[in-house]
Each structure stands twice: as C-alpha cells, then as structure tokens.
Amino acid sequence: MRKPIKVEEAIRKVMEWTRTGRQETVPIKESLNRVLAKDLTATNDVPWFKRSPYDGYAIFSGSTAEANADHPVLLEVLGTIGAGYTWDEGIKPDQAVKIMTGAAIPDGADAVIMVELTKELEKDGKIYVQIKRKVEKGENIVEIGEDMKKGEILVPKGTTVNPGVMATLATFGYQDVPVMKKPKAAIIATGSELLEVDEPLEKGKIRNSNAYMLWGQVIRAGGEPVFYRLVKDDFNETYEAVKRALGEADIVMTTGGVSVGDFDYIPKVYEKLGAELLFNKVAMRPGSVTSAAVLAGKILFGLSGNPSACYVGFELFVRPYLKTMLGHRNVYLKRAQATLGEDFPKPNPFTRFVRAKLSYEAGVIHAGPVRMDKSNIVSSLIEANALIVLPGGSRGFTKGLQVDVLLLEDEEGAPEWDENITDRRLQRQRENHFS
Ligand SMILES: Nc1nc2c(c(=O)[nH]1)N[C@H]1C(S)=C(S)[C@@H](COP(=O)(O)OP(=O)(O)OC[C@H]3O[C@@H](n4cnc5c(N)ncnc54)[C@H](O)[C@@H]3O)O[C@H]1N2
Ligand code: MOO
C-alpha cells in the first residue's frame, strides 16, 4: 500500500532538488519573455546631457525677469539646432538658440520657452525672439539622470523581459542579452493505447494528448520541451527511453504507467535505474498517483496518464522546479480569493484542485468549476484559467463560500480596459468629491 503525503510536503521534497540553470546570451530581438541572468544596471545617466522636451527657444531665464505683455523682451536668435545636434558656442544672456525636442541645451541657457508662446521678428538683418512673460530657471529642461541614474539597478536578475525591459536594454547598448538557458524538459508518453497525433483512430486506442498539453505547459513555464517517441507498456522500452532522456534533458517527465496496474512500469523503472523515490502518492485529487524520483541530482516526474491529473501534477510540481532553474523569484502559481460559483457536493478525503473559470462581477471574483470534474477529462482544461483549492477532509462545499484559487494564466479572464469605464469612474469620483 502506498502512503499518501501532503501536497506541501511533496512540493518541498521536489524543491529540495532544485538547482539554478545555466546562462547564455541571445540577440536583443529574441530576448522577449526570457529571464534576465544578470542585474540590469544603468551604465550611464539617462539622459546623459540636458535636453529640451519641446520645440522652442533655449534662453537664459534671467533675461526675462522683467518681461510682460506690455514690456516684452527681444533676444537675438543665433541659430537653430535639431535633435542629434549641438550648439557648441553657447549663448549670452541676451541671446537665444531655436531648439527642437530632444536637442542638447547649449551652455549659457537654463530654460526653454515653447515656440507657441513666442513670436519671431527680423530687425536690421538679425532674427529676434519676442518673449512676453517671465521664464523660470530650469523651466522645460530635462535634467541629466532624470530618467535613470548611473549605477542604479533597473531590472534585477530573474525578471522576465518585457517590451519595457527591451527598451531599457537598448538604452544601454545591449546587442546581446544575458539570459537563463531554457531548461530542457523531456516528455515521454507511455501507453500501448496511444496513437500519434497524425494516426487514424483504431479500436481501443486514443491519441496522445498529454504530450501536447505538457509541451504547452513547459513553454508557458519558460522551459524547452523535448519530445521522445511514444513508448508502449513494455518495461524495456520504457526503461531505455527514460535512461536516454536522463542523459539528454535537465528534467524527465513521463505520463502514465505510474499506478498499480499490471502494465504500470514506471515504479519498476525507477527501481532498476537506482533512483531515489521522493514520493509515489500525494493526498490530492486529481493526480494522487503523481510520483517523483531523483538520480544523480536529476529529477524524474512520474505524472499521471489521466489528462487532468497530469495537468495538475505539472502545475503543482514541475512548474516551480523549472521556474527555479530559470532563476525566477516567484515560482509558484499566484493565489487569489474567489466566491465559489456553484455547489460542489463531492466529499474530499484529499485536497482537491478543481479546474475552474474565473469571472469578474462588480469587482468580485467568482470561480465556477468547468465541465466535468474527473481526472480522465480533457475538455475541462479548455476554459480552465484557475484551480479552486478545496481542502481535504471535507464533505463538499456550498456556493457563495470564499475559496482560494490558483491562477493558471496571469491575465486570462481579467476584465479588459475600456476608456468609457475610466471616464465614468473619474466622473463619479469628482461628483462624490464636490458634493
Ligand atoms: N486499482 C487502482 N486503479 C487505479 C488507481 C488506484 O489507486 N487503484 N488510481 C487511479 C487513478 S486516481 C489514476 S489518476 C489512474 C492513473 O493511472 P496512470 O497514471 O498509471 O496512467 P495510465 O493507467 O497509464 O492511464 C490512465 C488513463 O489515462 C489515459 N492516458 C494515458 N496516457 C495518455 C496520454 N498520453 N494522452 C491521453 N490519455 C492518456 C489512459 O488511456 C488511461 O485511460 O489510475 C487509476 N487506476
Ligand atoms: O491520480 Mo487520480 O487523478 O487522483 O484521480
């Protein structure tokens, strides 16, 4: 008889064997969604020279101290600079340089006045700008280091590169980006009933759906999936496939053959390999048969053949392992609180992870179980974006109860933005504020 261990204990046992993965560099264009392997530190101030945020005139503010509509000042315009150019001679107090957005502020200037607040005049063959108001010192000057300061850690290692991080990488001249190597995750589907995706159906056979599900899950977790040929319920074939995968991949996942049936060979494969068994029964549903073992520091996950059990086993055990190899700081599924959308009458001797879809109504998250809650069901995974956690030792749960949910996809299911909603919300806030 197998003795079930608690889910958290099983997770702890797996996590004891985690190790940080290797690093590599990739061209900046290929860095999206990769994990930074080094802190991204500002190697210079940004901007590194004072520049103008507007099209206008760079002036010495003191020369406008007395300016008003009745007594405008006239400053001589020495020339014009566009972004990318500099005015190296500097200006004197009664002079100005016409300046475009992004251009460097000339020496002697300490403010910029926007072009629409001025008028240009010609007098005695010279160009002047007419200013009718006092301009403050520092007005419209983008200061050195306003955006980023030299030496500042902008993005800590372990962060997933997003388009904003890409912009920052480019700012500091990273043509190649140091990232964590994607851990190679071997996928071995076992079962004499399995057909490849392109094979026609035959009596008693089904197509191998788990391998493709795991393929997607590995990529979603940041890893690199590697397919191995389908393995029949045959001890030697299974043993050889697992042994080969152990030599080639960072982690090895099998699906099926892990229970107590006559043709469930995974436990025997672990034995012959001499792998140390971490567990072979977890107090959870689905996925109670999930097993894990370690050989020479390399981890083997024996996931269930039942699709939903395989799915849950991956998310709870394999995902955090891969995420740790990738150097992420947060490796577990995100948790939220939701209102149970339907009665869930099944008794739960073990902790149950119910595939659910979240909906958002008036700021409250509702979690509704999707389709059938059996571990052999594939279709419940189509819409599932969360797992409702129903603790073990209970006799069912009633609608309306506050439950914990684990989020499978960070943004999936959250309400989409609509400008009208923001406008209405602001309007309401203003009404409340002034009433
Ligand atoms: N006497 C007992 N029988 C079973 C027990 C038990 O405790 N005592 N546990 C049941 C539970 S719970 C589960 S879950 C399954 C787990 O079995 P295995 O993980 O060993 O998986 P298989 O028996 O190989 O297959 C189960 C099921 O899944 C289908 N399958 C397998 N591989 C794939 C795949 N790649 N793609 C799609 N579907 C797959 C397979 O055809 C079976 O229908 O054991 C129960 N039995
Ligand atoms: O492993 Mo089974 O999925 O517990 O139902």
pLDDT one-digit tens code per residue, 397-427: 999 999 999 999 865 455 677 788 888 888 8
Decide if 7-21+181-325 and 335-407 have a common fold: no
pLDDT of residue 166: 98
The residue whose CA has the least distance to atom 24 of ligand 1 is 256
The residue whose CA has the least distance to atom 3 of ligand 2 is 286
Ligand 1: lining residues by beta carbon, under 6 Å: 189, 191, 193-194, 206, 208-211, 255-261, 264, 288-289, 304-307, 309, 375-376
**Cα separation, 111 vs 131, whole angstroms:** 13
By the 10 Å C-beta count (0-12 exposed, 13-18 middle, 19+ buried), 103 is classed as buried
pLDDT of residue 57: 98
> Which is it for strands 291-295 and 364-369: parallel, antiparallel or unpaired?
unpaired
Centre of ligand 1 from the C-alpha of residue 277, in Å:
20
pLDDT one-digit tens code per residue, 65-80: 999 999 999 999 999 9
Domain spans, the chain: 7-21+181-325, 23-47+146-180, 56-131, 335-407
Main-chain phi, psi angles of 147, to 5 degrees: -85, -55
What angle (nearest 5°) sits at the alpha carbon of residue 380, between those of residues 377 and 386?
130
CA-based end-to-end distance of the chain: 70
pLDDT of residue 71: 97
Q: In which residue ranges of the chain is pLDDT below 70?
A: 410-415, 435
CATH number for the domain formed by residue range(s) 335-407 = 2.40.340.10
**Cα separation, 383 vs 399, whole angstroms:** 20
pLDDT of residue 414: 59
Domain 56-131 has CATH 2.170.190.11: yes
Q: Please identify, by atom number, the ligand 1 atom nearest to the C-alpha of residue 190.
A: 32
pLDDT of residue 350: 94
**Cα separation, 195 vs 202, whole angstroms:** 9
307 alpha carbon, closest ligand: 1
Domain 7-21+181-325 has CATH 3.40.980.10: yes
- The verdict on pTM exceeding 0.80 is yes
Second CATH level (architecture) for the domain 23-47+146-180: Alpha-Beta Complex (3.90)
The residue whose CA has the least distance to atom 12 of ligand 1 is 288
Centre of ligand 1 from the C-alpha of residue 376, in Å:
8
Report yes or no: 250 and 184 within 8 Å, Cβ to Cβ: yes
**Cα separation, 109 vs 248, whole angstroms:** 64
Q: Please identify, by atom number, the ligand 1 atom nearest to the C-alpha of residue 213.
A: 36
